[in-house]
Amino acid sequence: TLKDKTALVTGSTSGIGLGIARSLAAAGANIMLNGFGELEQINAIRADLEKEFGVKTAYHNADMSQAAQIAAMMEVAMQEFGGVDVLVNNAGIQHVANIEDFPVEKWDAIIAINLTSAFHTTRLALPSMKAKNWGRIINLASVHGLVASAQKSAYVAAKHGLVGFTKTTALETAHTGITCNAICPGWVLTPLVQKQVDARALAEGLSNEDAKKSLLAEKQPSGEFVTPEQLGALAVFFCSEAGNQIRGVAWNMDGGWVAQ
Ligand code: NAD
């Protein structure tokens, strides 16, 4: 159980981050949410978590591309909860284009949000984790941390980088009660992926349902989406005692994507 522990999940106002926050709350953790969105909606998410699971919640709107805002958020976590025990680096964005057409500012934003933000949260979370000699750092990489797809240069570079950063973090904490691992999902039907479904429907003149099927058929042998709930259950497992010696892995949950 994660009772009396605090989890910070970056990018948890939507999709996978929200699913993982819910699973960690169900396991008893207090939750610090982060991400963009309407305050009213975010307050509703907080109220639901508090009522359903009897945990405390907080929200910080730090833009994960901004080091100073990340530092401010970590400071608030320290003041409100005495530090972050479970750090889930999940915030991420995607942009799909050939390298020669790739907007330079999109490249910079993807590297900042999908990779560099994890360096900042990790370096700022480690001192209090080390003081307690317990911690869990879970980095949401992707199958694109293990293999590539065309037109996703920045994303693939950032996610491969995040898997590498995960391994270094695991080694530097190997003699402590802190573990660091990456989760590598295949397709999960979130707003990030729905945009790619919409683009395919438009390009190929397909219905929404057929565009989803075509997207899955290309890469994901199960033909089914991975769900935020399944990813949340894996995160909770990493937090359990059984996870004490799971260190530095990049665990894919991908319907068979990288088995091919
Ligand atoms: P999503 O778009 O549903 O959610 C992204 C979250 O990140 C939102 O809460 C958003 O507000 C937040 N966010 C975006 N930019 C931010 C910024 N600058 N600062 C703070 N928060 C920011 O996406 P998702 O599909 O749930 O993706 C979550 C993570 O999982 C990402 O790292 C993504 O790369 C990874 N992932 C997703 C899939 C998939 O199929 N959906 C597959 C593999 C990996």
CA atoms within a 13 Å half-sphere pointing along the CA-CB vector of 184: 28
Q: Could you tell me the pLDDT band of residue 168, with boundaries at 50, 70 and 90?
A: very high
User: 45 alpha carbon to ligand 1 midpoint, in Å?
Assistant: 17
Tell me the CA distances in angstroms from 212 to 34, 202, 215, 252, one per residue in order.
29, 12, 5, 21
Ligand 1 binding pocket includes 220 (Cβ within 6 Å): no
Query: For atom 34 of ligand 1, which residue has the closest CA?
Result: 92
Specify whether 48 is located in the same domain as 141. yes
Instruction: Tell me which residue range forms the domain holding 76.
Output: 6-186+227-255
Q: Could you tell me the pLDDT band of residue 210, with boundaries at 50, 70 and 90?
A: very high
Query: For atom 41 of ligand 1, which residue has the closest CA?
Result: 188
The CATH number of residue 248's host domain is 3.40.50.720
Ligand 1 binding pocket includes 93 (Cβ within 6 Å): yes
Specify whether 218 is located in the same domain as 245. no
Answer whether residue 101 is part of any domain.
yes
Specify whether 103 is located in the same domain as 179. yes
Length of the chain: 260
In one-letter notation, the amino acid at residue 59 is Y
Specify whether 19 is located in the same domain as 67. yes
Q: What is the mean pLDDT of residues 86-102?
A: 98
**Could you tell me if 146 and 250 are in contact, meaning their C-beta atoms sit under 8 angstroms apart?**
yes
**Residue that the structure tokens 């949260």 belong to:** 121
**Could you tell me if 59 and 30 are in contact, meaning their C-beta atoms sit under 8 angstroms apart?**
no
ipTM above 0.90, yes or no: yes
User: 83 alpha carbon to ligand 1 midpoint, in Å?
Assistant: 23
**Could you tell me if 189 and 203 are in contact, meaning their C-beta atoms sit under 8 angstroms apart?**
no
Q: What angle (nearest 5°) sits at the alpha carbon of residue 180, between those of residues 62 and 77?
A: 30
3-state secondary structure of 30: strand
The pLDDT of residue 23 is 98
Query: For atom 32 of ligand 1, which residue has the closest CA?
Result: 92
Q: Tell me if the pTM is above 0.90.
A: yes
Specify whether 163 is located in the same domain as 218. no
**Could you tell me if 89 and 119 are in contact, meaning their C-beta atoms sit under 8 angstroms apart?**
no
User: 192 alpha carbon to ligand 1 midpoint, in Å?
Assistant: 7
The pLDDT of residue 94 is 97
Q: What is the mean pLDDT of residues 145-170?
A: 99
Tokens, residue 168 = 């270094």
Answer whether residue 1 is part of any domain.
no
Which is catalytic among the residues 81, 155, 238, 257?
155
